[in-house]
Structure 1
């Protein structure tokens, strides 16, 4: 009996004081840069939200791999595929054009040197994959209607002339001009509406609607928020108790008992710690709050399957470590 109480008290301690998962600073900076550019596109460029898509995972020709595009923008001119980079230091193009090199310098001392694949090549390939994907959906657009771009959001980076002059790269200096390029005078809007697309070389209303519908069907990442603020992106695999249809469920909120005294009291009374998971209906917000689909009670140490982006194995995350899970459509 004493050993049982001791075990439950240890479980209560673990449940009330979970590990603190701090967010990855580089990943956080990248998300903030994407958020900032998306906001600028909606406010400064005056683009409607229906024409801006975030973190689409586009399947390749054989449907064996998905390629993430940070931002996709649909306009009458065509489809912009944007890779957002928030990198600091001195950035130079390597001799073979396949890599960029970053040097971090403190005063006159180089503190680190690293290389990473040239993002221009990456986003051009992703734009080609997106064009093929739309083609398979019956939306045949010309190659010149796709605009692959790399946008550098860090105003503290120093860029060499080869990168600065690359028309596929939008630097901080060129960013205001880039945002203004989306704005159209009213006279131009009227002229475009009465000019046939084969004469204007712009996308027709039908092509725009079809493109938006097809892009809305492309999946994005699921997101897990851990205790401590860290965000993981990937694919939610769940567990037997949380077998839900993502078309019905938008997010899962994990409710914990973090009061050590209370959990210890329950442990002495014979109860093991649990987690209450609330499943919220997709698009279920209303005057009286968010519609609840179901409530599920799990053991605090129940493993939740989640395949982190870029990982081949499915991770098992204890329910006690999770704050919420947001499901993509």
Structure 2
């Protein structure tokens, strides 16, 4: 490798991508709600699935649901918001958030969007189990920031709107009865977003279309039936300019794993959530990855 290449790759390894504070706070709140929901709902047999991705045949692509919780023959479809400040709901059912920093943001029709996702999920289940037992689908909005000020007209929404404690109370107090195993298997069959963590803490969510590590790794990856995890380690000191193998990656699922040096200039291909086109993400900036298990649901 010539010196211009060494220098360029070293500069890539030195790049730090700090997380977006607003989105990171939301992600941490989602993880926290999922964790306490599992604890709260365990005694009554509630099963918690987070970041559930479902196909949207009508509009194309995939849609994400923050939490889908299954108990008995009931499916709770949950949208979580960890907003601070206050919000209003206008005549179109658009949610207008007024943040503490003085800015405002139109979150559009939050309730209508999650209701549509719940309908898609319900229709998919009925199509797969046309002769099965009828299920109950409940749509909930969970506002988890304790300092959020609510408007007086939340009752106009079709969704069940709750704060964090009210939501947890539901799981602790309601016993949904005998489990519908078909429903549990159905929800368990969906995947989640792939996650790529960059040096500095920025998390990219979306679909990893290819690891870019050669045909042997691609063939091995196709055999994965569980989430594929990985770590990448990079030497970033000035002296690593002289290293022949400054980066390496370890990939594993279950008891199987692969460890290899990363050649210069390798990138994985990813379609990041919210971006129009897939893009190349240099391995030199990646520190960790968590690829969703292959979905079994259509």
Q: Which category describes the TM-score, using the shorter chain as reference length?
A: 0.7 to 0.9
Distance 1:63 1:213, change over 3 A: farther
Q: State the alpha-carbon separation in 1 of the partners of residues 251 and 85 from structure 2.
A: 44
- Where 1:157 maps in the other structure, the secondary structure is coil
Q: State the alpha-carbon separation in 1 of the partners of residues 6 and 58 from structure 2.
A: 53
Once the two structures are TM-superposed, the CA of residue 61 in structure 1 deviates from its matched residue by 4.4
- Where 1:218 maps in the other structure, the secondary structure is coil
Q: State the alpha-carbon separation in 1 of the partners of residues 89 and 148 from structure 2.
A: 14
Within a 5 Å distance, the mapping from 1:219-298 to structure 2 comes to 219-237=191-209, 238-241=211-214, 242-243=217-218, 244-245=221-222, 246-247=224-225, 250-261=228-239, 263-266=240-243, 271=244, 274-281=246-253, 283-284=254-255, 291-292=256-257, 294-298=258-262
Distance 1:96 1:5, change over 3 A: closer
Q: Which residue of 1 is the match for residue 17 of structure 2?
A: 21
Are residues 1:103 and 2:98 paired?
yes
RMSD: 2.8
Distance 1:177 1:63, change over 3 A: closer
Q: Which residue of 2 is the match for residue 216 of structure 1?
A: 188
Once the two structures are TM-superposed, the CA of residue 254 in structure 1 deviates from its matched residue by 1.2
Q: Which residue of 2 is the match for residue 319 of structure 1?
A: 283
Are residues 1:178 and 2:167 paired?
yes
Q: 1:149 aligns with which of 137, 140, 143?
A: 140
**What's the TM-score, normalizing by structure 2?**
0.85
Instruction: Give CA deviations for 1:204-250 in whole Å, capped at 9, x if unaligned.
Output: 54xx2111111111111110000001111111122152412232662
Contact 2:68 2:78 in 1 (8 A): yes
Instruction: Give CA deviations for 1:98-121 in whole Å, capped at 9, x if unaligned.
Output: x11122356xxxx22321212111
Q: State the alpha-carbon separation in 2 of the partners of residues 105 and 317 from structure 1.
A: 34
Distance 1:318 1:24, change over 3 A: same
Q: Computing the radius of gyration over CA atoms, which structure comes out larger, 1 or 2?
A: 1
Q: Which residue of 2 is the match for residue 92 of structure 1?
A: 88
- Where 1:161 maps in the other structure, the secondary structure is coil
Contact 1:100 1:118 in 2 (8 A): yes
Distance 1:38 1:180, change over 3 A: same
How many pairs were matched up? 286
Q: 1:10 aligns with which of 7, 15, 22?
A: 7
- Where 2:149 maps in the other structure, the secondary structure is strand
Once the two structures are TM-superposed, the CA of residue 10 in structure 1 deviates from its matched residue by 1.8
Q: Which residue of 2 is the match for residue 199 of structure 1?
A: none
Q: State the alpha-carbon separation in 1 of the partners of residues 46 and 151 from structure 2.
A: 36
Distance 1:112 1:235, change over 3 A: same
Once the two structures are TM-superposed, the CA of residue 93 in structure 1 deviates from its matched residue by 0.6
Distance 1:114 1:12, change over 3 A: closer
- Where 1:181 maps in the other structure, the secondary structure is helix
